[in-house]
């Protein structure tokens, strides 16, 4: 029977590994060997990785790939993507190539406003609270100057502070709704520091406010935290061309292809079951670039999916139309990204990824990431309405199956050639592999 451990965080890395191997795995030595062989041979680099998080025992590797030939606003990019799923990088690359000769991708940043809130409770007269807020608003800004002055020098800072009455949603609930500009930083630490200062000022001033004389007029701060929902930090990416130029696939007429694409997107607009998978494909491209550039893909996911449901039902993030003979395919999404701070200056591969992207600003990166998502979605929908998704995906997945089976390099070459002309299924690959072994 396994018993709880005290002081695990105080153990050395070797001691942590030995404990986890002995208590939770069936082969202690194999576990130790597996974990230690993924350590970096450069001790300084390994120490850096060890200090990113707590209780580190090893490194967990994801493949880092490149999707080339992305023409974005007439500038050519090779986009780094960190992801484990087969066919994502290939699909993005295929979409980039498809649009390369048709003008490429056009992007525009529509806003860069970030959001944070101080949540508090107040039982008194809302009009009296509004008078109090008008009084303390300049004090809130003044008290945070020591935090904001450097950001202000870079062109950012606090944009506004609003008092919001949320008592219709929850009894006695109010908030300071605060907006920020954080320039090339994602800004989480900056925003949270400002919010905590606002909360301190709010509490102090409320306790000393002469017009608050009853217990009902006591302000109780619940919490202060940024929001990962940033509906005014928006980027748009699009592709367009005359319908007759959609002639790369000789098995389908350009007009029919365009109509099929639009119908597929419209289904994702009205059917949440489809929209979730449709948008997941978009996130395949977005997450891979966000992860490669050291940004918080969990925050991006949460914010984008909230945006997809902003009108009350979950719907497609992409749009498609034909207008006067021009086919258009586009996306508008919230992306709060940074190119300074966090891991961007620490992780060697993140630094390299940003260099490959030609040292983008946060606005540049927003546009690149949006394009990756749009390209991924175009490739996926294009497959769905023509050959079907499995033909390309399973051929990319073939190598994973062969590696699981322990195929040699010669066996891989034979089977890859075989499945160039045959449908890839898991059972079919196993069957052909076993035949090959017997012969």
Hey, which residues are catalytic here?
85, 280, 296, 393
CB-facing half-sphere around the CA of 306: CA atoms within 13 A: 14
| Cβ atoms of residues 292 and 80 within 8 Å | yes
**Rounded distance between C-alpha atoms, residue 267 and residue 260, angstroms:** 11
Nearest to 318 by CA among 364, 375, 363: 375
| Largest pairwise CA distance in the chain | 93
**Rounded distance between C-alpha atoms, residue 100 and residue 404, angstroms:** 36
**Rounded distance between C-alpha atoms, residue 102 and residue 76, angstroms:** 14
Place of tokens 């993005």: 92
| Alpha-helix runs per DSSP H in 209-271 | 254-270
Burial of 68 per CB tally in 10 Å (0-12, 13-18, 19+) = middle
| Alpha-helix runs per DSSP H in 13-125 | 13-24, 28-37, 43-50, 88-100
| Alpha-helix runs per DSSP H in 38-154 | 43-50, 88-100, 126-143, 145-153
What one-character DSSP code corresponds to residue 7?
Answer: S
Secondary structure (3-state) at 115: strand
Task: Name the token pair of 108.
Answer: 């525009």
Residues 6+ apart with CB under 8 A from 219: 120, 121, 122, 202, 203, 206, 207, 212
């Amino acid at each position: 029977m396994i018993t709880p451990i005290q002081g695990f965080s105080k153990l050395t890395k070797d001691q942590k590994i030995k404990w986890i191997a002995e208590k939770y795995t069936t082969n202690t030595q194999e576990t130790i060997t597996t974990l230690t062989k993924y350590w970096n041979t450069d001790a300084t680099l390994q120490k850096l990785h060890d200090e990113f998080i707590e209780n580190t025992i090893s490194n967990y590797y994801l493949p880092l790939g490149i999707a080339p030939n992305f023409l974005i606003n007439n500038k050519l990019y090779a986009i780094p993507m960190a992801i484990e799923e087969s066919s994502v990088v290939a699909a993005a690359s295929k979409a980039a190539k498809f649009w390369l000769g048709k003008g490429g991708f056009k992007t525009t940043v529509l806003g860069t406003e970030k959001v944070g809130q101080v949540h508090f409770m107040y039982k008194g007269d809302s009009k009296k609270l509004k008078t109090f807020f008008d009084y303390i608003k300049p004090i809130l800004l003044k008290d945070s100057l020591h935090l904001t002055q450097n950001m202000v020098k870079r062109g950012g800072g606090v944009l506004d502070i609003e008092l919001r009455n949320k008592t219709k949603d929850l009894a006695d609930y109010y908030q300071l709704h605060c907006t920020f500009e954080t320039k090339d930083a994602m800004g989480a630490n900056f925003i949270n520091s400002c919010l905590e200062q606002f909360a301190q000022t709010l509490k102090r001033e409320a306790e000393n406010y002469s017009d608050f004389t009853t217990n009902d007029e006591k302000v109780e701060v619940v919490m202060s935290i940024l929001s990962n929902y940033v509906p005014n930090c928006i980027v748009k990416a699009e592709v367009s061309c005359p319908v007759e130029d959609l002639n790369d696939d000789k098995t389908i007429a350009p007009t029919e292809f365009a109509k099929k694409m639009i119908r597929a997107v419209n289904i994702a607009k009205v059917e949440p079951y489809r929209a979730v998978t449709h948008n997941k494909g978009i996130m395949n491209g977005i997450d891979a670039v966000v992860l490669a550039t050291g940004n918080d893909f969990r925050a991006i996911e949460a914010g984008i999916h909230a945006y997809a449901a902003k009108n009350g039902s979950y719907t497609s993030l992409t749009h498609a139309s034909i207008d006067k003979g021009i086919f258009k395919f586009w996306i508008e999404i919230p992306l709060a990204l940074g190119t300074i701070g966090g891991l961007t200056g620490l992780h060697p591969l993140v630094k390299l990824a940003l260099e490959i992207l030609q040292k983008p600003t946060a606005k540049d990166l927003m546009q690149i990431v949006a394009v990756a998502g749009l390209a991924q979605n175009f490739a996926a929908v294009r497959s769905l309405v023509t050959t079907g998704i499995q033909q390309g995906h399973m051929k990319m997945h073939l190598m994973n199956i062969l590696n699981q089976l322990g195929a040699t390099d010669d066996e891989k070459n034979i089977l890859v050639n075989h499945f160039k002309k045959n449908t890839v299924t898991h059972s079919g690959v196993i069957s052909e592999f076993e035949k090959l072994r017997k012969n």
